[in-house]
Structure 1
Amino acid sequence: MSKYALSLAEDMQEINERIGRLASVPFLKEYVDYPGLAENRLALLFVFLCDAGLGSERAKTLCTATGLMQLGLDTHETVKTHYEAGETADRNRQLTVLAGDLFSSHYYHLLAKAGEVMAIRILSESIQVVNEAKMRLYLLEKSNQLTWESYVSLRKTIDTALYIRFVEHFSIDASVEKFWKSLFEQTSAVEGMVGEWEQLQWGQRLPFGFSRYLTPKSDSPVAQVLTSVEAKAMEWLGVCEQMVRSFQSIENQRAVSWVTSRIMHRVSRLKRLVEEL
């Protein structure tokens, strides 16, 4: 690992620990399954903010707040529409909703304490964008009007709006803004595709999300779906790696390559496990 990647890994560990301390509620952990942190998107945000001239400590504060907000949104997405009847299931649903609200509320307190009024506004606006995209996705899906293009576009918005608002605010020019927005969108799409690949491979879910639109028939064999998912994941990952190589700053190139290498390692591990079956 290069010194740039090692430094980024250490910074991310500190950010993750800050988020963990604020989000750690022993009672909730007993009943709520915490979603994983969006480490790769937070790492990209940290590199971008530092490159934009923000100090390391300020960048960590903004990343911690964004990570808490993302954790809250992701927790709300785990709330099921149907639960088994019973007091325990009802309690778990209510606690999951409350946990998401709790994680989200921490971002405001953290930023207010740091005097980051503009960051509060940025995240508040991005939350509105995320929720509008979620509603649009739901309505299109319910009316059977959701296409591959609209799904990819809305999913990218849902997964990256928190980060892209910072890019729009702190970018020094239009070309920088366009590049970072594309990098966030492309890496989040790859992560989403790889996540579906993993769940489909181990039979945890039927085709969903991206994978529903990659085969011509809804009743296509799972093996065919997996082949399509793998091909698209590798295609998108190749685009990400090409974008990273286009960085003029070698330091940024090596730091951001830490993110793509993490995704590639995840893919390689999945392939290896499949081959060993």
Structure 2
Amino acid sequence: MSKEHTPYVEEVRLIIEQIYKRSTHAYVEYYVDVPSMAENRLALLYLFLKEQGMTTERSVTLCTATGLVQLGLDIHEYVKNDYERTLAAERNRQLTVLAGDYYSARYYALLAEASEIQAIQVLSAAVQRVNEAKMRLYLAGKDARLPSAEEYWDLRNTIDTGLYVAVVEAYADSEEQRRFWTNLMKETAKVESVIGEWEQLKWQEQVPFGFARFLLQKPGTTLAQVMSGIELKAMEMIGLCEQMVRTLHPVETRNMLATMTARYSHRINRLKRVIEEM
């Protein structure tokens, strides 16, 4: 890793440590599976805020708060409508709901302490939009009527990047910056989503509720065709991300984002090699 972007990497690592420090609760973790952090999106958000001229301290505060809210939203995804009627299952369900609320409350306290009133308003409004998108996608899937590809990705992007995009829209110093970083957030999130579905199709041999399920709705479509379509979509989006990254001027930002997109390509190529060897 070059010295040019090592400081940014260390600062992002500090943000992630802060999020875990503020969200760790031994009793909750004993009963509830805590979701993994959306590290790449946090890194993008941090790079954006620094590019807008924001201080390191303030950038860390906003990123930490956003990460806490995202954890709260993600952990609520684990709440099941149907579950075993046992004490352990009931406790898991109740604590999963409470854990999500706990993480969300931590973000509010952090921003209030820092007098970041605008950020509280921005994230609160974003949470509402994310939950509305989740409900629309859930109902469409429950009725076996997923929307068009464009509508699907619109909802998926709102769910995955709604918090980060809201911060970008609120703090971008120009329309050009707002458009670039919003698109980059959405495209990288698509890459992660599609690669995750591809891995789930291959290793768990089950169709995830997502773009793969959408593709399978088309009459006559086979699982092999879906996997091929997922691969093509992933490579297409990685190429788009790489093209966007090359337009960046700050060397530190460009280098870090190039490393991120390279990891996506490596992940895909590794999966393809394993598949070919089987």
What range is the shorter-chain TM-score in?
over 0.9
Q: CA deviation at 1:207?
A: 4.2
Aligned to 2:73: 73
C-alpha spacing 1:219/1:106, structure 2 compared with 1 (3 Å): farther
Q: How many residues align?
A: 277
Contact 2:137-2:146 at 8 Å conserved across structures: no
Q: CA deviation at 1:145?
A: 5.5
5+ residue gaps in structure 1?
Answer: none
More moved, 232-241 vs 244-253: 244-253
Task: Deviation per CA, 1:168-227: give whole Å up to 9, x if none.
Answer: 111121111111111111111111111111111112532430112235646744333222
Contact 1:212-1:218 at 8 Å conserved across structures: no
Distance 1:68 1:12 in 2: 14
Distance 1:110 1:265 in 2: 37
Task: Deviation per CA, 1:30-81: give whole Å up to 9, x if none.
Answer: 1111111010000000000000010111101110110010011000012122
Aligned pairs for 1:18-33 (under 5 A) are: 18-33=18-33
Aligned pairs for 1:13-92 (under 5 A) are: 13-92=13-92
Q: Secondary structure at the match of 1:64?
A: helix
Aligned pairs for 1:1-277 (under 5 A) are: 1-143=1-143, 144=145, 146-203=147-204, 205-215=206-216, 217=218, 220-277=221-278
Contact 1:4-1:255 at 8 Å conserved across structures: no
TM-score of the superposition, structure 1-length normalised?
0.93
Task: Deviation per CA, 1:122-178: give whole Å up to 9, x if none.
Answer: 111111111121222233334525222211111101111111111111112111111
Q: CA deviation at 1:276?
A: 4.1
- What's the C-alpha RMSD, in Å, of the aligned pairs? 1.8
More moved, 160-169 vs 209-218: 209-218
Contact 1:47-1:256 at 8 Å conserved across structures: no
Q: CA deviation at 1:243?
A: 0.6
C-alpha spacing 1:4/1:204, structure 2 compared with 1 (3 Å): farther
Q: Secondary structure at the match of 2:4?
A: helix
Distance 1:247 1:164 in 2: 18
More moved, 206-215 vs 235-244: 206-215
Any runs of at least 4 consecutive aligned residues in structure 1 with deviations exceeding 4 A, and if so which?
A: none
Distance 1:55 1:169 in 2: 16
5+ residue gaps in structure 2?
Answer: none
Distance 1:234 1:132 in 2: 30
Task: Deviation per CA, 1:7-43: give whole Å up to 9, x if none.
Answer: 2221111111111111111111111111110100000
